[in-house]
Amino acid sequence: MQIQIREIDHVVIRAADLAAMTRFYCDVLGCRVEREDKKLGLVQLRAGRSLVDLAAVGGPLDRDGGTAPSSVAGNMDHLCLRVEPFDGEALTAWLTQMGARPGEVVDRNGAEGIGPSLYLFDPEGNMVELKGPPAR
């Protein structure tokens, strides 16, 4: 199987100060707020066809945990690659055959809407999400 990457769907950045990060990405870089979920500590910013998700350090989505971002503590949660076609069973089989340990295929929100995705880790421990098309 050959995975076909279409583009980066979204990037998730851990943010110690959501308001300051939102201002920077919107006012300086030209993104716009697409969705905000205060309960989750999440601000989703539109960046062209992609999203930049800002996740509050210590919030419900902060899987990495640990200290706030700094020169010695990471702030990237995961990289999401939009793949097409997306066949969850075939992807899981392929990734497992290649020695990866993919997670469960679950519907998640992305730049184009809610659709199937799965998580796995690269050899250095970076989380990667493979995202399929939105359910229409």
CATH number at residue 127: 3.10.180.10
- Give how far Cα 114 sits from Cα of 32, 56, 107, 110, 111, Å: 19, 22, 6, 6, 8
**Domain of residue 36, residue span:** 5-131
State pTM to two decimals: 0.69
- Summarised one tens digit per residue, pLDDT across range 59-113 is 888 766 666 666 566 677 788 889 889 999 999 998 898 888 899 999 999 989 9
Percent of the chain at pLDDT exceeding 70: 88
**Domain membership flag for residue 136:** no
pLDDT for the residue numbered 39? 95
How far is residue 18's CA from residue 13's CA, in Å, rounded to a whole number?
A: 10
**Domain membership flag for residue 96:** yes
In the chain, the number of structural domains is: 1
Rg, the chain, Cα only: 15
pLDDT, greater one: 16 or 42: 42
